[in-house]
Every structure is written in C-alpha cells, then in structure tokens.
Structure 1
C-alpha cells in the first residue's frame, strides 16, 4: 500500500496537466515517474477518483469552461495539456451492514422510499463513485437504470429518504421541497442532564462553504435563518456494543430494537459481544427551514451536541459504552472528526403525490411507540 504522505494528503485532490497525449493510465504512470503501481492506478480510475478536463485552448471562451468529469477506463485517451484531478486515497466505506432489499420500504414507477442506514451515502461522493445506496440498488435491481437524488441525508444519519426513478418526476418533487409540503420528522439523541423544552428554536447560520457550520443566537445581516420545532423531549435506554470499532455501531436501531434489552452478552458464537445499557435523552424535531447540517448545528448551539457527532462537539459513539475509549489515541483516520455514525434518525415522512393525489405516510417507529 502506498503511504499517503508520498503524494497528497488524504481527502485532498492533486492536480496536474498531461505532459503528452497518451492513454489515461500511461499519463498518470509517467507523471509519477513510474513509482505508482499500474494496478493501483487502475483501482483509482475504477473507483471514480480520477477526473479529466480537456486543454483550455480547445474551448472557445474561458467563460464556459466545464467542470472536470470522471473517467473510468485507463485506456481513455488524454490530450497533452489536459487537466487531471486525482484523489490518491479515496475513502472506502464498508457496506457489509447494508441489506439493500430490506432498505426499500416502498416503490412505484416514479420513486422509492428507503430506510438509509448509518455510515453510507445516498449517491456518489467526490472521491468514490461506488459504495453508496444508488450503486447497491442498481447492482441488485436490474429494472432500475437511473436514480436521482433531490432528497438527501448526511452520510452519518439514518432514516427515510426518497429516491427518484423517473426524471420527469424530479421537478414536481423539487417543487414540493420548495413549498415545504413534505413533512419530515427527526429524532435527535444526545447526552446531558437537562431536557430541551418543546417549542420553536431559531438560530442564524453563517453563509460558508466550510463543512462545519457556524451558528448565532441573534440575527446577523446576511446569515441564513434556521428554524426547527421541538415536538417532544424524552429519554430512552439503548443497548450498545462495547467496542473500539465504529463499524460495530452502524446497525444499532436507536428507535426500536434496543429499548428493553437487558442482556450484557448479545449474539451467538463468534458474533457474541458484550453490550452496555446507555441512557440517552432525545428530542423529536420538525424542520421549518432546511439548511445543510441544520439539526446538528442547532443542537450544538443549544448545548446538546448529538451523540457520535464529533464534528459538532459530540462524544465519540464508542465512549458511550466504554468510558475508557479515547478517540485521540486511535490511528488516522479513526481519530478524524468525519465519523460514520451520529445519533440522528429521520423517522417520519409524509407528502401528497402530485400525480395521483395519494397521501403517503412512512414511519420507522414501532406501533408501541
């Protein structure tokens, strides 16, 4: 395996221009003085971690230069002076915890509704075209030829999400999003001595391309208004594995499956693991506005960071069941703030189909809840 420090910091792309016209594989191989194995180069290309843009002199105007696009074959021809963008160390996300058939809750000719697990993206990410819900669906269902994603959830979040199959339905679905005629409810889990009082909460988000969103309690000129409604505040007990491995937490059902579990040993045979009972607070919230990371950022602004959400000041999920766990002692990238699990679940989704007028209602809560 190539050491990440040789060429580029992980998650950061490397740019260069082709020194001669040749195949994509040869251009990359020669750019790095034949030190990068061809097999690794082919893996990067197949992963979707290599982008290409034609030389600038081939465009009539510099005002209409397109963004680089992915290439998937090492045999694709690349012109001299073409720009290449490479993610040398694309993120590889496990999908072993994803049963794609069980994820699909509803399907018709226009759309699907899925229960997206923690730790997987809806669609491709910038450095990996695969390892996502779209790709798994198309691998398992030959009838699905294309999927569109106007409705998204964060990689770390579990819950209900609508995937569009029919391109002519996208505009109608986007119209419902703009008119806020889709009701989405989330359950947010946190630790702390004090409960959050039900009601409306308003904060203001600084316009920024930064991953971590900054909030203000008071109105700031030019900042985006963020409003959420806390519907209910309560407590629960969740059975969690005692493990240093974040992947072991990805299949936890925070909503239903662990509420009355009392066993300290769970599973059979080699899969038998020690569990601990963890007391958590939670709030059921409804978004009035819909901003990137809104719930995560507003929960931090309220002093109640989500469990597992280290990006916004939350405790590492492993620490909930093992107080001795220290994320700073973990090797990179496990000490990164980019975790795979946060205590946030989109548990309820309701909307009226603009084509049929049918009122759809989906919920992940057991009837006893």
Structure 2
C-alpha cells in the first residue's frame, strides 16, 4: 500500500517519520488495496500508530474524503467528504488531512455571542464576524468556524425558547479569516438562491475600511485619492494572488475594480503587548496610562490612513492585493507586505514581543457597511457597524 502526497511523490510504508504527529499541511491521498473500513485502512497503513478514536475524530470534523473506483462509478468523480466510518472497496481513493488546521477561539465571546448578531428575521441573519476565525467550513475542518458556532448558539436559544423551528445556515458571502465585518448568513434556501443572484448581478453593496499604517509626517496619502482603481489578477487556486497593471496578450487575467470613497487619518494609542484581535479599530481608542513609575502601562501612538473602499468586482484578496500593488499594504497583512501590529508596537523599543513572530490573526480590513434589497420581501436594508 502506498500514499500519494499532493506533489505526487510516493511514500512507502517504510517511511515511519510521516506519522510522528509532526504538524504537516499537505493533503494526503491513499489508494486502497484491500476492502476494509476507513478507520482500519488508515490504522493498518500507519502500522497501528493512530488510534481508532483519532481516526473517528478526523471523520467527525470532516477531514476525510472518499472516492469509489471508476469500475464502480463508470464515470469520473471527485472525492466526497465522509463523516462516518464505512467499508470501502479495493481501488478506492482516500483523501485526508491528518493534521487539520484549528483556529484558536479564545478571543471569541461565547458568553455574549448575541453581540455578533446585527439583525435577524425568518430568512437571514446579518452578523459582524470577528477577526481571526473563518466564516464557514474549510477543506480540512467542518466545525471550527463562525457559522458553526452561530448554529450551536441558535440551537441553544431554540431549546431555551421551546421552539421546534429547524434551519440550515449557508454563507453566500466570502470573508477571509483575518478580516472582520458584516456578512449575510442565509436561513432559508429560497432566500439563499435569490440572494446569490443579487450578488452575481452586483446588487449587494459592501463598503470596507482599510487601515494602512503610516509614519509621522508621511504625506503618502496624497497618492490614494478617491476614484476607481483597476488592476488585473492572475487566476490561481493558491495565495498570495498576483496582480498586473495591464491585461496580458491572451486576455486571461481577471479584471479587478474598486472605488476609493474617501481617505482620512486616524491615530490610536495602543498598550504595548496587547493582542491584535482585542483591538477594535472602528472605535476611537485612547488608552490612558495607568499606575506609577515602573508599573505605568506603556502605550504607543500609531498613525493610519483609513481608506473607505467599495468593491466593484469581488476577487479573492482583491482589496489586499490592490492596495499592496499601489504601495500601501494593510496593517498586519504579512502575506502582501504589511507589518504586524506587534511589530509596529515594538520596533522602536527594547521590548521583545514574541507574538510578533506569529502569523497575525487579524488584518486592518473591516466590512463596515452592507446594503441590499431583500429579494423576497423587497424591503431595503442598510447596515453599519461604525460607532454602533
């Protein structure tokens, strides 16, 4: 039996180091040589090192996919997620993530989860998704995301209200894990279908605040003026995304359009050593010094250009890539050349903040305004979380 990694390298059973529980990110593929259950197949493949309980947990959280051999399906198919152990036949393909990504959730206020819900009716919810958590499920985890937590909270509320109303939640919006902001979450399948049509027709307006760090006496903001900015993105399945100023000869690049509505400066006094996800960039933060002498809390004044942006097209990482292309990477957007909050807080001090070595859980991008007309009731909505 052999295992095929994403880069198609064959690793035989003699490769023992693969399963020493060192976190790896690559997906693995396994061609089954003998009919057996999924759990037994993986346990035997790894010489009995993973436990049945561990494999069951991988199944439960959606880390394992199965594809029947073409002799059975007669057509080419794709691996489908399985969440219960079952017998699979010879020639089947298993796709699995042995070490799924898990976002920490210590910054999520589960005791006051209602604060994230901006509006709710029978068809949809509008939520303020916090930084540092995926909006929906990802390929290697079904449950470690905001929508799953919201569904659990709604279930508890339903039990407390003695309600028997059942629902499924779906995400028509896409919002990156480190980005905060307003999203519609559909409760009704008819609404979901009609709202998706609104999105494709460009009839849903979303406005973002982008926070670009600047230094004292920096006049670079004159280069970001209100108006429409256009770039072209290479179509790839991976990140970071690549932008160009002009279309290529084959006309294969995707057009990226955004509109800068306004640019203003903002200063924030932030305590040294603070966690990035605990800062609300929308509020007028001004932390006062506390204590005396060596016990006095140290703060640092940070300056930002705050850019209000309306997307015209909706490409992956579009605001992040376009501002970076213009020379103005977002706060903490390391992927596109930005500096982390912790770096900005400690760059001119003798303090060593080891959190700055970690990938930030937030970036300076917030979807603060959302407006649309309900495709069912025809009621117009305009949501805003600035100074809510």
Instruction: Provide the TM-score with structure 2 as the length reference.
Output: 0.82
Give the aligned length: 346
Structure 1 gaps of 5+ residues are 267-271
Partner in structure 2 of residue 219 of structure 1: 247
Partner in structure 1 of residue 237 of structure 2: 209
Q: Deviations over 1:149-170 (max 9, x none)?
A: 1112111100000011111112
* Cα distance between partner residues in 2 of 1:229 and 1:310: 23
Partner in structure 2 of residue 253 of structure 1: 280
Partner in structure 2 of residue 70 of structure 1: 81
Partner in structure 1 of residue 107 of structure 2: 97
Q: Deviations over 1:186-213 (max 9, x none)?
A: 0000123311222111111122222111
1:239 CA displacement: 4.1
Matches of residues 1-150 of structure 1 in structure 2 within 5 Å? Answer: 6=20, 10-62=24-76, 65=77, 67-73=78-84, 75-99=85-109, 100-142=113-155, 143=165, 145-150=167-172
Per the alignment, do residues 144 and 237 of structure 1 end up closer, same or farther by CA in structure 2, a change over 3 Å counting? Answer: farther
Q: Is the 8 A contact 1:8 1:14 kept in 2?
A: no
The partner residue of 1:177 within 199, 211, 221 is 199
1:289 CA displacement: 1.3
* Cα distance between partner residues in 1 of 2:126 and 2:328: 30
Cα RMSD between the aligned structures? 2.6
Q: Deviations over 1:59-117 (max 9, x none)?
A: 1223xx1x2122223x3222232211111111111223223321111111111100000
* Cα distance between partner residues in 1 of 2:185 and 2:17: 38
Q: Deviations over 1:19-39 (max 9, x none)?
A: 322222211100111122333
Partner in structure 1 of residue 307 of structure 2: 283
* Cα distance between partner residues in 2 of 1:312 and 1:261: 28
Q: Is the 8 A contact 2:342 2:356 kept in 1?
A: no
* Cα distance between partner residues in 1 of 2:356 and 2:131: 24
Q: Is the 8 A contact 1:147 1:165 kept in 2?
A: yes
SS at match of 2:148: helix
SS at match of 2:195: helix
1:174 CA displacement: 1.4
1:125 CA displacement: 0.4
Structure 2 gaps of 5+ residues are 1-15, 156-164
Per the alignment, do residues 80 and 8 of structure 1 end up closer, same or farther by CA in structure 2, a change over 3 Å counting? Answer: farther
Q: Is the 8 A contact 2:256 2:313 kept in 1?
A: yes
SS at match of 1:25: helix
Matches of residues 301-340 of structure 1 in structure 2 within 5 Å? Answer: 301-323=325-347, 330=357, 334=358, 339-340=360-361
Partner in structure 1 of residue 182 of structure 2: 160
Q: Is the 8 A contact 2:273 2:353 kept in 1?
A: no
* Cα distance between partner residues in 1 of 2:339 and 2:146: 27
* Cα distance between partner residues in 1 of 2:208 and 2:238: 24
Q: Is the 8 A contact 1:118 1:251 kept in 2?
A: no
* Cα distance between partner residues in 2 of 1:298 and 1:5: 41
Q: After TM superposition, what 4+ stretches of structure 1 lie above 6 angstroms from structure 2?
A: 2-5, 326-329
1:228 aligns with 2:258: yes
1:242 CA displacement: 2.8
Q: Is the 8 A contact 1:317 1:341 kept in 2?
A: no
Instruction: Provide the TM-score with structure 1 as the length reference.
Output: 0.86
1:265 CA displacement: 5.1
Partner in structure 1 of residue 322 of structure 2: 298
SS at match of 2:58: helix
SS at match of 2:368: strand
Per the alignment, do residues 121 and 210 of structure 1 end up closer, same or farther by CA in structure 2, a change over 3 Å counting? Answer: same
Per the alignment, do residues 315 and 39 of structure 1 end up closer, same or farther by CA in structure 2, a change over 3 Å counting? Answer: same
Partner in structure 2 of residue 269 of structure 1: none
